[in-house]
Amino acid sequence: MPQYKKPMSNEEFNLNFAQIKPLMSDTEAYYESSRCLYCYDAPCITACPTGIDIPLFIRQINSKNEQGAAKTIYDSNIFGYACGKVCPTEVLCEGACVYNHSDVKPIEIGRLQSYATKKSIDSGKKHFNFKAPIGKKVAIIGAGPAGISCGAELSLHGVSVDIFEAREKPSGLTVYGVAPYKITNEEVLSEMEYLEAQYGFKIHYNKFINTRSEIEELQNAYDAIFLGIGLWRSSELGIPGEELDQVTGAVEFIEDLRMQKHQTQIGGKVIVLGGGNTAMDAASESCRMGAADVVIAYRRSHEEMGAYAFEYELAKAAGIRSLFNVMPVEIIGSTSVSAVRFVRTKVEDGKVTVIDGTEFTEPCDWVIKATGQSRQEDLLDMIGIGRSKSGNILVDGEYRTSHHKYFAAGDAVSGGQEVVNAVAEGKKAAKAILKNI
Ligand SMILES: Cc1cc2nc3c(=O)[nH]c(=O)nc-3n(C[C@H](O)[C@H](O)[C@H](O)COP(=O)(O)OP(=O)(O)OC[C@H]3O[C@@H](n4cnc5c(N)ncnc54)[C@H](O)[C@@H]3O)c2cc1C
Ligand code: SF4
């Protein structure tokens, strides 16, 4: 059962959502950096999608050259601070650290990374020399990790960059989606301000690109267009009762939580439908918002869940319960939800099948749907962008879409990975754009 009291103020919210990777002090960073073995062919570098030279930046921290360490990090990953806090380091750099082989705690690479980059953010230190303007213009749709990474790399190489963002804040899901106990809004936005001041790209906020005339305008005014639009709203389940009050999508609930904090509406008994990382986040967050009972309901077994084991453990520690091998068939209620009707399932030849006569009803006050995200099909159809069967944008080895003027990367192409993957792909796409404009 969740142990959290409903937060009634921002202070109480911050306590319930205390940072799981808090910033290191100077002494902690010095001690931790001195444990690194500076491995030759360091496996931690290979495990990082952006290929940060981890032993180098750790050595720089240890020799009190924090600004040098920050430059090493930003050279490879311009979301250096955010990634230090939000990356699943357990399965990336820290999971690859050689200390794991001797049953010794791996180096806390993520926290060291945030420690060093915070020094540059706080001092506004500029690390890079920009090439002279090359007379080319690129429009970027979406100021998420992919869009900003692409824009920063292009700016470094003398391209004039305009980023068009539907929302009023930059960084995409980093500020609107990631769990608040991983990174605060203030932390995300101070890194974004630092980047915008350093790289000089212009972000046009509240600019949702979705009409034919807007698209034509961009196509006429720019040499290339990069789509960093990510995924879209939470997917529908396609069962009766989804329209009831207090039935919401996980992405919408988490966006509300990040913006409204303690004022977010949730409580009583919450059922979260899904078995991925987003479901774990939504469940954990519901507990921390003071819900009395939070149940994750997943149509396959525990072993088949898409969520990382450590995310499931985090949700369990927050007080969730789980129902495995169950599938929702109806959401019940008059105006608001009052229960979910489930049927039990089994998996045969990899496929989920229902077991007849096993229906049961689980009462609840809220339902959070966390079974995936939809795509912006209308926009992509309007431009004429080819997609895979699952709706992801198809690109060639140069990140070019089926429309010669459009390039794409990030979640819109991968179908949903991590911030660090979107940053890595956005930068690679920028290099491809530079070759092609
Ligand atoms: C609930 C949740 C929790 C997550 N937690 C983590 C985590 O802890 N750690 C981690 O590393 N990753 C996490 N991720 C994944 C990570 O957030 C994404 O992989 C990453 O943000 C993808 O970056 P992107 O730039 O491709 O897309 P996004 O971050 O989605 O950014 C796309 C941007 O484009 C804008 N946009 C879209 N369409 C238009 C348009 N037509 N016109 C103008 N602007 C537009 C959007 O407003 C948005 O700002 C999480 C994802 C979710 C859903
Ligand atoms: S693997 Fe671990 S010990 Fe080796 S360089 Fe990387 S962080 Fe240091």
Q: Are residues 360 and 384 in the same domain?
A: no
CB 107, CB 61: distance < 8 Å: no
Per DSSP, the residues of 286-304 read HHHTT-SEEEEE-SS-GGG
4 Cβ contact partners less than 8 Å away, ≥ 6 residues apart: 16, 287, 288, 289, 290, 318, 319
270 Cβ contact partners less than 8 Å away, ≥ 6 residues apart: 283, 286, 291, 293, 294, 295, 364, 365, 366, 367, 368
Ligand 1, residues 86, 173, 248: which to mutate, most atoms within 8 A of Cβ? 173
**Of all protein residues, whose CA lies closest to atom 4 belonging to ligand 2?**
39
Q: Is the CB of 285 under 6 A from ligand 1?
A: no
Distance between CA atoms of 342 and 299, rounded to whole angstroms? 10
Q: Are residues 262 and 365 in the same domain?
A: yes
Question: What pLDDT was estimated at residue 2?
Answer: 81
Q: What is the mean pLDDT of residues 306-314?
A: 96
Q: How far is the CA of 142 from the centre of ligand 1 (A)?
A: 9
**Domain contains 131:** no
Q: How far is the CA of 10 from the centre of ligand 2 (A)?
A: 38
Residue 22 in tokens? 């808090």
Q: How far is the CA of 7 from the centre of ligand 2 (A)?
A: 40
Q: Are residues 103 and 165 in the same domain?
A: no
Distance between CA atoms of 209 and 218, rounded to whole angstroms? 10
CA distances (Å), origin 427, targets 121, 399, 433: 21, 11, 10
Q: Are residues 107 and 147 in the same domain?
A: no
Q: Are residues 223 and 323 in the same domain?
A: no
Average pLDDT value for the chain: 97
**Single residue among 369, 389, 405 that ends a domain in this structure:** 369
**Domain contains 2:** no
Q: How far is the CA of 23 from the centre of ligand 2 (A)?
A: 20
Q: Is the CB of 112 under 6 A from ligand 2?
A: no
Q: How far is the CA of 28 from the centre of ligand 2 (A)?
A: 17
Q: Are residues 264 and 285 in the same domain?
A: yes
Ligand 2, residues 48, 97, 103: which to mutate, most atoms within 8 A of Cβ? 97
**Domain contains 1:** no
Q: What is the mean pLDDT of residues 300-309?
A: 96
Q: Are residues 365 and 426 in the same domain?
A: no
> For 133-183, how does the pLDDT look when each residue is reduced to its tens digit (9 = 90+)?
999 999 999 999 999 999 999 999 999 999 999 999 999 999 999 999 999
Domain span at 46: 13-123
**Of all protein residues, whose CA lies closest to atom 51 belonging to ligand 1?**
177
Q: Is the CB of 319 under 6 A from ligand 1?
A: no
**Single residue among 341, 369, 397 that ends a domain in this structure:** 369
Q: How far is the CA of 422 from the centre of ligand 1 (A)?
A: 9
223 Cβ contact partners less than 8 Å away, ≥ 6 residues apart: 136, 137, 138, 437
Among the bound ligands, the one closest to the CA of 181 = 1
Question: What pLDDT was estimated at residue 294?
Answer: 98
Distance between CA atoms of 270 and 172, rounded to whole angstroms? 26
Q: Is the CB of 54 under 6 A from ligand 2?
A: yes
- Split into its structural domains, the chain has a count of 3
**Single residue among 339, 354, 369 that ends a domain in this structure:** 369
Question: What pLDDT was estimated at residue 395?
Answer: 98
Q: Are residues 355 and 381 in the same domain?
A: no
Q: Are residues 116 and 66 in the same domain?
A: yes
> For 386-430, how does the pLDDT look when each residue is reduced to its tens digit (9 = 90+)?
999 999 999 999 999 999 999 999 999 999 999 999 999 999 999
Q: How many residues are listed for the chain in this entry?
A: 437
CATH number at 385 reads: 3.50.50.60
Q: Are residues 252 and 198 in the same domain?
A: no
Question: What pLDDT was estimated at residue 3?
Answer: 86
**Domain contains 130:** no
Q: Is the CB of 208 under 6 A from ligand 1?
A: yes
Q: Are residues 182 and 268 in the same domain?
A: no
Q: Is the CB of 181 under 6 A from ligand 1?
A: no
CB 110, CB 165: distance < 8 Å: no
Q: How far is the CA of 37 from the centre of ligand 1 (A)?
A: 35
- pLDDT over 70 for what percent of the chain? 100
**For residue 1, what pLDDT band results from cuts at 50, 70 and 90?**
confident
> For 252-302, how does the pLDDT look when each residue is reduced to its tens digit (9 = 90+)?
999 999 999 999 999 999 999 999 999 999 999 999 999 999 999 999 999
Q: Is the CB of 173 under 6 A from ligand 2?
A: no
> For 73-86, how does the pLDDT look when each residue is reduced to its tens digit (9 = 90+)?
999 999 999 999 99
Q: How far is the CA of 86 from the centre of ligand 1 (A)?
A: 13
Q: Which amino acid is at 367?
A: V
Q: How far is the CA of 50 from the centre of ligand 2 (A)?
A: 16
CB 2, CB 319: distance < 8 Å: yes
CATH number at 112 reads: 1.10.1060.10
**Domain contains 401:** yes
**Domain contains 129:** no
Q: Are residues 264 and 350 in the same domain?
A: yes
Q: Tell which atom from ligand 2 comes closest to the C-alpha of 35.
A: 3
**Domain contains 390:** yes
**Domain contains 8:** no
